[in-house]
Each structure stands twice: as structure tokens, then as C-alpha cells.
Amino acid sequence: MPDSKPVYLDHAATTPVDPRVLQAMLPFFRERYGNPSSLHRYGQQAEAAVERARKAVAAVLACRPAEVLFTSCATESDNLALRGAAWAARSQRGARRIITTPVEHHAVLHTAMQLAADFDFELDLLPVDEYGMVAPSTLASRLDQDVALVSIIYANNEIGTINPIPELAALCRQRAIPFHTDAVQAAGQLTLNVDELQVDMLSLGAHKFYGPKGIGVLYVREGTPLQPAQTGGGQEFGLRAGTHNVPLIVGLAEALRLAADERDRHVAHYADLRDAIVSGVIEHIPQVRLTGHPEKRMANHASFVMRGVDGNHLLAALDAAGFACSSGSACKTGNPEPSDVLLTLGISHEWALGSLRVTVGRDTCSADVERFLAVLPDLVQRIRSLGRQEEV
């Protein structure tokens, strides 16, 4: 390990908890530990904190507090949106087709696949372009009354591409088909105003925007048919049973409020660093390509594929040199198979194996990026020549 502090360049995987968020959460672990469902003063105090948090989230989404459901993570939010809306659509109007894309996070894609494999729904995967983007005309051509719901990712976690959600969602709204978006990567950088986005459901996870892990939100527009996927107590308007995790709910709301207030400043900072990474990598490394859209991409997200490089070797070498990066989504790390998302974009197996995702955050500075760019080309060259020797 080098002497200097390691540089964390994996903010799409997770972010540290903002100290202001931690401060807001702390009283709810020890002094104000009541269960919001209890009638006594402890319960009332906890309930008031949950309802304050719900209002704060609603203010950022520009929705009604009763449209905000707290869940245990973004994965649960995605699962509830898909299962809940699919079941409701089938029982209310006999609709059975679920439209989504092959570049979704597995929290959406695997849920849709299970609904098709085990629950008699039909899966309709929309084609995406070379940047992983869905064209509104493609979606329009697939919409009819048999569609139970549409789920399309807002900003892609592996390649950073931003989808035209308002246009896509508007097509569904015209036909009264529920539209869900996974906004997990978008939070803190793109608008979450649900009327501008025109969405009926939207998923968030706090740890992607400097909040705690283990807490998420599902926005559900009033009137959207949804059946609960987790049953038990009557919490969250009967749509998500389970005792509220009060400290984490408070933390999520404070993190989202801060992220929205400070968004412009952070996004400008991220974009400068990202642009320096993209141009440095393209200039100094041969046989490398940017993945995802060149302009319509997340401000903090640089992702590449390289020919003849084992992405996992590169990550290990970078880690040894003091840089924490990723080769795709965190869930995929350690998997020697290339990512399905990259293969879907038409990238060959050989190039897709050499994927690298670099995502900057609030504390990343230009000196970190300079140090990173100073070591990366040599590491890539070393891994390429090791690979060639192994082939001989």
C-alpha cells in the first residue's frame, strides 16, 4: 500500500454518510427510540420525526407526503414497484406485459424476469442504442392495453447514460399505463421533480447521496394501482409493512434535503473532474473507449472499456496503488464474466472484459484525479503485457 491516503473513486457504489446527516440521526438511536406505531409519547415523538422526514422528501420530489413510502433499500423499492404494480394491473385490468430494458439494474431486471418465469407475466425488453438509451418512438410502438407497467432506468449505474424520462413517461401517461423509474444514481445530480419527470413511481436509495445504507424510498403517485409485496402491520399506508427504521428515515430525509440544496455546486465540481478523467484516459491510453453517452451522462461518471485488459486485475492493481474504482456495478465486482449491459450495447467480449468505472464525489479533488491519471496508463500497459505473456 502506498503511504498517502487512498483515493475513493467509486461513488456510484456508495458514498460516506455526511456528518450533518449522522448528527440528525443520532438522537433516534438512544433518546428518541420509540416505535412510531405506539400510542404513548415515545411513539408520538418517533411518528412526528417520520412524518417530518416524509414532508422533507416530498418537498424535494414536489409531491404529497402521502405519496412517499419508506422502504429498506432501493432494491426493495424497485421490487415493490414492479411486483405491486404488475399484480394490481393484472387483477384490475387483466394486463400481463411488463416492459423494461436490458440495461436495468438487477433489482429491476431480475424482478421482471421472475415475474415472467414464475408468475405468468410476459417480459418485453426494449432495444437500446449504443449508449444504452431508449428512444421514445421505440417505447411508443410497444404500448397497448396489455401493458401492466413500464420501468426504465433514469441514469445508468454502469455507463452513466441518462434516459429521456419525461418523454418516455408522458407516452405512458397518455395511455394510463403506470411508469416507474429507478432514480437511484440520478439522486443528488438530476431533477427528482415527479411532475417534470411525469413518472408514477420512482425509487431512491439513501446511501448513493451521502445518507445511510439500508433505507430507501418509493414514490407512488396518488391513484397508481399497487398491491403490497410485504404484508404485516399497516405501516406506510398499508403498502409496506414493518416497523419504521426511524434513525435511517431521518437520515435519508436530511441527506436528500442537503443533496437537493447543494446540487448545482456539487454537479459543477463533479463535471470538471469527470471531464479531466475522460480526456486524460482517452489521450494517454491506447485502445480505450468511453462507454455510455458522451454528453447525456451523469456528471460524476466516467466509464471505459479497454482492449486486452482483465478488468478485475486492473481493479486489484489500482487498489494496490491506492485507488478504489469499479468495473461496473458493485454487485458485479469479482465476477470474471463481462457485464451483460456492456454486451447488450454491442461491445465485444474481449473489450467488455476490460471495463473500468470511475465515479467522483464531493471530496474528490483535482490532485486526486492527477495522481490517478499519472498511474493508470502504466498499470494498463503492465496488465496488457502480462496478459500477452500468459497467452504465449
* Catalytic residue positions, numbered: 331
Is the CB of 182 or the CB of 200 nearer to ligand PLP? 182
To ligand PLP, the closest distance from the beta carbon of 194 in angstroms equals 17
Is the CB of 207 or the CB of 293 nearer to ligand PLP? 207
Is the CB of 185 or the CB of 327 nearer to ligand PLP? 185
| Binding positions for ligand PLP, 148-167, rule CB under 6 A | 153, 157
Q: Pick from 107, 109, 306, 341: which binds ligand PLP (CB under 6 A)?
A: 107
Residue 88: closest CA among 232, 215, 201: 201
The 52-81 site mask, x for binding ligand PLP (CB under 6 A), equals: ---------------------xxx--x---
Q: Is 171 in the site for ligand PLP (CB under 6 A)?
A: no
CB atoms within 10 A of CB 195: 11
Which DSSP helix (H) or strand (E) runs through 90?
A: helix 74-93
d(CA 44, CA 162): 41
- What is the Cα Rg of the chain in Å? 22
To ligand PLP, the closest distance from the beta carbon of 212 in angstroms equals 11
Q: Is 184 in the site for ligand PLP (CB under 6 A)?
A: yes
Q: Pick from 11, 54, 83, 105: which binds ligand PLP (CB under 6 A)?
A: 105
User: How many Cα atoms within 13 Å fall on the side-chain side of residue 392?
Assistant: 6
- Cα angle at 258 between 255 and 264, to 5 degrees? 130
Is the CB of 132 or the CB of 311 nearer to ligand PLP? 132
To ligand PLP, the closest distance from the beta carbon of 374 in angstroms equals 29
How many positions of this chain bind ligand PLP (CB under 6 A)?
Answer: 15
To ligand PLP, the closest distance from the beta carbon of 239 in angstroms equals 18
With a CB cutoff of 8 Å and minimum separation 6, the contacts of 208 are 12, 14, 15, 74, 184, 185, 187, 188
Is the CB of 211 or the CB of 354 nearer to ligand PLP? 211
The DSSP letter of residue 235 is T
Is the separation of the CB atoms in 360 and 318 below 8 Å?
A: no
Is the separation of the CB atoms in 217 and 57 below 8 Å?
A: yes
| Binding positions for ligand PLP, 186-205, rule CB under 6 A | 205
Pairing of strands 301-306, 122-125: unpaired
Q: Which three cell numbers stand for residue 142?
A: 410497444
Is the CB of 93 or the CB of 213 nearer to ligand PLP? 213
**Bridge partner list, 124:** 99
With a CB cutoff of 8 Å and minimum separation 6, the contacts of 1 are 320, 322
Q: Pick from 45, 79, 111, 185: which binds ligand PLP (CB under 6 A)?
A: 185
Is the CB of 14 or the CB of 138 nearer to ligand PLP? 14
The 205-244 site mask, x for binding ligand PLP (CB under 6 A), equals: x-x-------------------------------------
Q: Is 359 in the site for ligand PLP (CB under 6 A)?
A: no
The 289-328 site mask, x for binding ligand PLP (CB under 6 A), equals: ----------------------------------------
To ligand PLP, the closest distance from the beta carbon of 376 in angstroms equals 23
Q: Pick from 182, 236, 254, 310: which binds ligand PLP (CB under 6 A)?
A: 182
To ligand PLP, the closest distance from the beta carbon of 155 in angstroms equals 7
d(CA 156, CA 359): 12
> How far is C-alpha 385 from the chain's CA centre?
35
d(CA 171, CA 173): 6
Is the separation of the CB atoms in 215 and 245 below 8 Å?
A: yes
Is the CB of 133 or the CB of 380 nearer to ligand PLP? 133
> How far is C-alpha 304 from the chain's CA centre?
18
Which DSSP helix (H) or strand (E) runs through 185?
A: none
| Interacting residue ranges for ligand PLP, rule: CB under 6 A | 73-75, 78, 105, 107, 153, 157, 182, 184-185, 205, 207, 329-330
